[in-house]
Amino acid sequence: KKISGCLSYLSDFTFTTQKKMREFLRFWQRRYSAVSQGLSNAAEYPRKSERRKSLSNAQTLDGFSILDSFFYKRRDGERGRWPKSAFLFMATGLVSVVFAIAVYIFNPYDLIFKWKLKFEKDGEVYNLWAKPPVDLYLKIFLFNITNSEEFLAGKEDKLRVKEVGPFVYRELLSHENITFNNNGTITTTPRHPLVWQEELSEGNSEDDELILPNIALLSIAQVAAEKSYFFRLPINILIRQTDSQPLVRMTAREFMFGYESPLSTLGYQFLPNWITFEKVGLIDRMYDFEGDYETIFSGETDPSMSGLYDTFKGSHNLPQWDGDHCSKVTGASDGTKFKSFMEPNETITFFRKSMCTVKKMVQEGEPTKVSGLMAQRFVFEENALDNGAVEEKNKCYCRKGKCLPAGLIDVQECYYGFPIALSYPHFLDADPNVGKNIIGLKPNRTEHESFFMIQPTSGLPLRCAMRFQINLAMKDVSSMSHVEQFSHTTIPMLWFDISLHELPPALQNRFHLYLNVLPVLDHVLFYGCAIGGVLLLLFAVTKASVGMSGSLQSTRKISLQQTYDFRSTKVYAPCEEKRIPSDCHDVPTSVFDLENEMALSDTDELELLHDERDSGHGTNCSNASEDCTITIPQEERKNSPKPLCHQNSNFTLSIER
């Protein structure tokens, strides 16, 4: 609408200006003949000189000629005049320049891209978020305890562990029960079903038997140890009666997805308010999304925020933590899509239920290409798993004033209420005292560090690996049966890697078009229109100028067929003393109309034509009574004889090319 209004205003302004110019030029070009006043040549010379200068200036800045140079002569019966190519070039150039300015101001690529980022039903990005067509894999590594008998017998005071895995599952992420809200958000239920991938598990099987911690016994013992003697007593009796052991042999599937324990079964029957489960499984608990719902920004008000959390289970904060730093979910990502249009050094937040907390991620290194797209590497900020020992702001992870060592985060609310602690794999970056009772851990930053490679414009994750370890953080359990040896020991149970190796080829090609090709076309469109428009305008003006000059030198005859009576008033000197102009450019355009081939009719104009002093050529007029025709060929304009005319002679001037 703005462009249309500008063009309409420009059209009205051009029409008004042209009209005013014509009125001004008509007034300027009025001339009065000196013949009728009976003045001598000598007396009239200063006046002629001034007129000559005025006509010379009018010849240079003649508005009629400039305007007429853009249009053909009006034909009979037609109201308008057909534009010449110069006008078309000028109009096209003007439109191109205006279009380039509009592209620069409005940036159509950004407008279209922001529109695409919005979550609208059946929209492209919405469909990608609702059911991502990516291969997301969960790799699980279990810690098999190789000295269980020696440790339980007291022969060894440290646990020896050996990493076994990977056990690989494909995660079929989807968002179901989607509801669009009126406040620019979407409410949905997440689903993360797992599918076993035997071919990717490198020979490991779900049925492999390992010696692993009895999570139910150790956890119940830890919880009971913090209670009164009268609470511990029946629990100790129950442990001895069921002969529960802290280290048991079980399959990998049982440990990951739930195994039956006599202790947990009895506890579920007699203590239903405390033990609300019959089976214990860490991965089963990680992927238990039953009853969960989340509210996501649709991008209606801010396209860059589409796909990010507004609330989790109806709250902007996680209930298990105090303070926004530890608990604020709003603005975090679940890894499906991050914030779009990221700035350099901008941070992001990540939340997933298995982490039970929100963590900040920072940029690391320079952007690199991943799958043909520019990506920025993000890692968890330094001391992300600190509990206040290093970063004061992290004290919100402490419970009742009691803090775990650096490198461990208490996540018991997300895992049955058991003393579960989260760390990086193999206690990477943890306090050295954390793993002092464990032998066999080999932390490696390359293999155990979490990262996300994110395309900063779209917020699309191109490659990622979220790696965490689940541990039992045992305190003093010396008052509990069968578990005394585990006091003040952090037992590593498993670590997992949720990873995306690369995007599918179809998705790569689509985003290559959106993120690599279209921005280039946007720049080409802007610079092409800007440069092309300016060149067209220059070409149009040049062509019009050349047309004005060329029209004076075209292959026409400018016929001055007018009879003049030269009487002995001595106003004019003999004709032979006058000179005809050598170049058509020297003839004032106000004397005759080249476009319409109009004959000169003003005696004063003819006088000025004869009074030009450059050069001339002609033929002799034989006598005073006959008509005299003066012809000036182009090749003989200069250094030619003067024309001889006599009084009362009629003559015709014809310039031929």
pLDDT 10s digits, 212-240? 999 988 988 888 888 888 888 888 888 88
Closest CA to 70 of 626, 390, 511, 544: 544
Closest CA to 409 of 401, 400, 395: 395
| pLDDT, position 636 | 44
Residue 259: predicted pLDDT: 83
Chain-centroid distance of CA 129 in Å reads 19
Within-domain flag for 26: no
Q: What angle in degrees, to the nearest 10, is found between the helix axes of 41-60 and 603-611?
A: 90
Q: Is the residue at 31 inside a domain?
A: no
- Residues 546, 657, single domain; the answer is no
Residue 139, pLDDT score? 96
184 and 204 housed in the same domain: yes
- The residue-averaged pLDDT of 257-275 equals 69
Lowest mean pLDDT among 333-342, 407-416, 644-653: 644-653
Q: Is the pLDDT of residue 593 over 60?
A: no
In-domain check, residue 110: yes
CA distance 18 to 591: 21
Last residue of a domain, one of 503, 530, 561: 503
What mean pLDDT comes out for the span 96-119?
A: 84
Same domain as 542, residue 557 = no
Residue 181 lies in a domain: yes
Instruction: State whether 126 and 225 are in the same domain.
Output: no
Shared-domain flag, residues 575 and 609: yes
8-state DSSP, 71 = B
- In angstroms, the CA 552 to CA 151 distance is 112
Rounded to whole angstroms, the Cα distance separating 118 from 130 reads: 13
In this structure, is residue 259 part of a structural domain? yes
- Max Cα-Cα span within the chain: 153
**Do 139 and 239 share a domain, yes or no?**
yes
pLDDT at position 626: 41
What percent of the chain shows pLDDT beyond 90?
Answer: 31
Specify the number of domains making up the chain. 3
Q: Is 19 domain-assigned? A: no
For residue 465, tell me if it sits in a domain. yes
Q: What's the domain range around 526?
A: 62-130+519-550
CA distance 255 to 267: 19
Are 531 and 566 found together in one domain? no
Kindly state whether residues 537 and 396 are assigned to the same domain.
no
Q: How confident is the model at residue 73 (pLDDT cuts 50, 70, 90)?
A: low
User: Which residues are within 8 A (CB) of 174 and not within 5 positions of it... i.e. 6 or more apart?
Assistant: 130, 131, 132, 190, 191
H or E stretch at 358: strand 357-370
Domain presence at residue 42: no
| One domain for residues 206 and 125 | no
175 and 229 housed in the same domain: yes
Give the pLDDT confidence score for residue 589 in this predicted structure.
38
Whole-structure pTM value: 0.69
Distance CA 450, CA 489 (A): 25
Exposure letters 57-87 (e unless 16+ CB within 10 A, then b): ebbeebbbbebbbbeeeeeeeeeeeeebebb
Contact (CB, 8 A) for 306 and 337: yes
Say whether both 217 and 294 belong to one domain.
yes
Rounded-to-integer distance, Cα 376 and Cα 360, Å? 15
In this predicted model, what pLDDT tens digit does every residue of 317-331 receive, in sequence order?
Answer: 998 888 888 889 999
Residues 316 and 400 in one domain: yes
| Confidence band, pLDDT 50/70/90 cuts, at residue 251 | very high
Return d(Cα 488, Cα 503) in angstroms, integer: 44
